[in-house]
Chains A and B, each alone.
Chain A
Amino acid sequence: MERAFQRTQVLTNHLLQSSSPLPSQTLSSNACLSYSPPELSENCAFDVKEMRKLIDGHNLEERDWLFGLMKQSELFNPKVRGGKVFVSPDYNQSMEQQREMTLKRIKYLQERGVFKGWLTEKGEEIEMRKFAGFEVFSIYDHSLFTKLGVHFPMWGGAIQFCGTKHHHDKWLRDTENYSIKGCFAMTELGHGSNIRSLETVTTYDSNTGEFVINTPCESAQKFWIGGAAKHATHTVVFSQLHINGINQGVHAFIVQIRDVDGNICPNIRIADCGHKVGLNGVDNGRIWFDNVRVPRENLLNSVADVSPDGKYLSSIKNPDQRFAAFMAPMTVGRVNIAIGAVYQSKVALAITIRYALTRRAFSLKPNEPEVLLLDYPSHQRRLFPLVAKTYAMSFAANYLKVLYAKRTPQSNKAIHIVSSSFKATFTWNNMQILQECREACGGQGLRTENRVGHLKGEYDVQSTFEGDNFLLMQLVSKALFAEYMAAQKRNKVFKGLGLEHMNKPCPVIPSQLTSTTVRCSQFQMDALCLRERDLLNRFVANVLKCKAKGENTEQAFNSCYELAKDLGRAFSERAIFQTFVEAESTLPAGSLKDVLGTLRSLYASICIEDVSFLRYGYLSVDNGANVRREITKLCNELRPHALALISSFGIPDAFLSPIAFNWIDTNSWSLV
């Protein structure tokens, strides 16, 4: 009864001012910290709804509907904290329980018609709707996002793009309504990045018309296969295909791994990858194939086929090209990871900045109230550049999604390179943002229910799955090298990937940078293009030098890894910046455009503050200092817009966490 008494006291304080101190209080109200919601003291200079439309880009109603579906269901673990409802998985559950909950949530969403058309409809509209769905799920839980990612774009995508009509007819509908649960068996214990050297082997038995799939040694076991350990009924296996003694390279085959009752199929062994540092809502499994036989039709044959009598057939003779064509559609996985990363950054920043708008520490003068965290220049310097990065990534993500949704065979190469570059950049940015946000929330960042700190473990895997980030950046630089060489053949004319600036004269950086210049988008573009141009020239020159010394191309690339890393970064940041400028240009003059312009300058400035500008001499030490000074000024200018900027993320309160709201009341004794 005592507790109920005290509990209602606290809840009463929501509505009553404690001008007449309650009898149980011995401290006067002045001596205690009180919580004041940021909405009371912060202003909104621009239309938050318009900003959200700009950064989310599409399908706002669908997103809000999905938020509503999750918030209103017990399955998504709603918890009341300080009078508000929050939804977040219970990470204190056992691994087994978390896995079951993920599946239950998926079933609920499927029953509500969320996935209708995800595989059976075609066109831009459904592609964008799916992206919006994944972005919303990444806000709630990475396990949910990943388990859906494995089933829809990976398993489902493989059927759609690597398979042909009879595969579509047989598998797509059942996948869409979850009658079967798919997974994607590509990675092996011994090979993750280098999929061309996978060790699973498939041969063809022309007597029975079956493929025989086998795991010849322990390093060939499939590893990290999401969904395989507990739930998946089917998988698409990537394996070397040996026909008549010739290895025709990696191909994909559909294999059923569990029956309808959940028993593992004969000749298949499955083990669990075990507990992980995060993402324990996904049941990652290990798979061995012991001469598993599947019908000939189970080969996903969009690019190559095997005739009933065992002849290998393909219209693409070159194995490299054939492999590229085969794997091209799987870039959607990379796109999904990239865009999901942006949204986790948004969650973390929304929580952290709201907290910083209500948390105080130290007074500047005696007898003054303590200062809000976000009023410290140092705190602004830590967080606002991350907000600028997140906005930049939002625009770049929207560009990438549209590029993918509108893809043609000609644009596949560009998608491959841009998605690799953005995936690496966004996921690295995301981990940096999550770490900084955790630190900026101090001790509260360690509580799982406050979400900010916990996200790190959940999302850490992003930098190495779906393409190791270091490798992806090398891939980008190799592609740029190839573009350079191709341009030489075309009379030095660059086309595509935004490299057209290479055709123009080299941009010139003014010798003395003023504040106005630093904020000028032309200067910012020039600086980023200059870096990209110079690094590309140097990289090509160095690679050619190594080759002249007798190294082959691969060895030369390896020798030039430092330049490759810097070049990959330069390309990414220039490409991302370009999308920011384009988004800004769509706006009419006004407060929205002004704030966005400030953010854009901040993003450009932190790219230009990077050590590469000094190392390679694009900026003098003095100019570097000028840029640095400008960054502090820009952060200061953004301070009044902090709340509006993160409210524009459009994330409902229930998907943030208690420290974004009244964290004093939430922690009161009566609510224990």
Chain B
Amino acid sequence: MAPPAHSSRSPSPSQPSGKGEVSDLKSQLRQLAGSRAPGVDDSKRDLFKKVISYMTIGIDVSSLFGEMVMCSATSDVVLKKMCYLYVGNYAKVNPDLALLTINFLQRDCKDEDPMIRGLALRSLCSLRVPILVEYLVGPLASGLKDSNSYVRMVAVIGVLKLYHISSVTCMDADFPAILKHLMLNDRDTQVVANCLSTLQEIWTAEASNSGEASRERDALLSKPLIYYLLNRIKEFSEWAQCLILELVAKYVPSDTNEIFDIMNLLEDRLQHANGAVVLATIKVFLQLTLSMTDVHQQVYERIKAPLLTLVSSGSPEQSYAVLGHLHLLVMRAPMLFSSDYKHFYCQYNEPFYVKKLKLEMLTAVANESNTYEIVTELCEYAANVDIPIARESIRAVGKIALQQYDVNAIVDRLLQFLEMEKDYVTAETLVLVKDLLRKYPQWSHDCIAVVGNISSKNVQEPKAKAALIWMLGEYSQDMQDAPYILESLAENWDDEHSPEVRLHLLTALMKCFFKRSPETRKALGIALAAGVADFHQDVHDRALFYYRLLRYNISIAERVVNPPKQAVSVFADPQSSEIKDRIFDEFNSLSVLYQKPSYMFTDKEHRGPFEFSDELGNLSTEANVSAQKVEADDKDLLLSISEKGDSGFPANGSAYNAPSYDSSKSLSASSTSSDLVILETGVLHQASPSLAIDDLLGLGLSTTPAPAPAPPLSLNPKAVLDPGTFQQKWRQLPISLSLELPVSPQGVAALTTPQALIMHMQGNSIHCIATGGQSPNFKFFFFAQKSEELSKFLVECIINTSSSKAQLKIKADDQNSTQAFSVLFESALSKFGML
């Protein structure tokens, strides 16, 4: 209970200096303390107000503690309230004095006025003084049985407060059991809601060290309770409705009838004016229908209008929160929103963060039928005076172009941007034209004609300059001035501050040299000399490498630097589909607005009720394995992994979310397709390292024409990793490779003693950190470390002996060596006779 203890920076002009006034107040309070004269309460009120106002502006009035407590013997509620406020503020720092208040607070807890009983109980529980907890138990117990609902409401939250001061006292008094009873029987809905919040918090905190607590927590999701709450949902306040809906979103109905019953019951919640209620309802709908593709799609259609209404009504802050969720849904299923694109047009007075979301949505929903209009609109923004938005708009146009709809017209537009002669427009456009050329080399002719006219002097931004230089190098045969432009850049080597640009300049000059050597020879010489002397390590290395390569054999050098290129078919999505699924699972939470899953921005105990299970606790189960069994297996596993067992939601993961988890994979077309994207690019990397993409990423070294044998991967036989770090890494890293392998009959037989496999893998420098499961599902977690680096590999290996399959998930610090590692891993497995 604390008005700020530190002083506010600009106090009101009447602010007193402090000491004199405080001692004045002290003596005045003394005089009034014993008085029973009529009107004394009014004078007390004035004095109390003064005390509180001093307290608010940061003057220390704790020396009045005794007098304040004495004066509190009154029936005047206003006085009492001020006194409680005062006591709550200073009790924590003055535990000895706090003891003084216990007496009168306890007395007030028995007052005949329920208002006073409630207030006193609340203040008593808010003292936060550990030594006083014993005094709380009695009043709390009678408060929970009070005939007045206000007192019960306060008492329930009081139990939670007590739990936070001393969990042992709270559990010993068996308060949770009383709350459980109240939750099911109290007439007052706010009492019920408070019981639910309190029990959720207590059981969640206890679940990590008590199996019973985790069962109790799971019992909150039992069918009778859920139905009990759902049937009365309209009697609850809008805030309590949110709480209940959040709980229902985690409930797994037994059949589709149940799903439809719940949805029909909650249908009208979508028309609520409170955005929080609507979003919580939407979450329920989305979670319930995950496994029913067509219904899920209908849900999207149904929630569109309410979401759009919420976005446009209410304060800008609220509409931002809703827009963030709309954004998530649009990104998941753009095709369902393609006719609503006009809603995503920007309004001139919207802040940057809103416009940015809208631009992303516009980009996502562009298809054959609306691209023309969307791009026309985006071009308006590109000319906008608002520079960051202009930039974003140009990028958006580029992204749409890369999505392949009506590229022809868009290329024209992009080229028109270059004619606008605004520096930032030119810069953004150059980057895009470069990407376009990598995907659609057939446009080179048109683009080159325009790009050739751009003076490199007008391009200052490193990214844009690098793009321009790349184009000059790549298309030097078509651009007459290319060698000369590059030469002048090379001559001004020292003025170029960005290493990225210098790297590109080296490579571009090399490419140019092989096409037009007489004109480039001099410039290349200058650049190589300057590059070798460069302070930047990468620039230095690349220059030296080129130099040696040229000396060794010019024709090999040409094959290295200028190999025949393939067009890039798909650019990798910066966010993995796994991350996206996690954010979706955490719908209606901060994860959506931050666009990252909760583990990235919050610590374990504060993930809130939204977090779904951890990867580790989420065995993908076979239908014939009962959920309970897996749950137990998992717990074993987790216990063996982490000593503390600090994993917040180990059990409910598989028990509640297994179906939803599975279906989320199969269901949303968008997410699976982006999975494919990642795999595809990954494969491309491996198959033809000569891709242009490598070159632009600054990996000039790897662009060997003939696939060089990958350096053999060697592992550190003595690698160490503690379980905590393993868990953390496992959570943070994306899956770089997942595959399924058939298991041989010998392998199945060998698993009767899993230890043998572990020993064998250790012999191959692949260490086992945890095992779990029972026949037919075995689960192993392995890790390995590169021999000369810290870079680690993590593997989850699930072997199902009845289906004779092994599922591998590999995560790696260094994604590029995953393939090599998986080869090692597989060969180790097959040496054991598994495969």
Whether A and B are associated in the same complex: the answer reads no
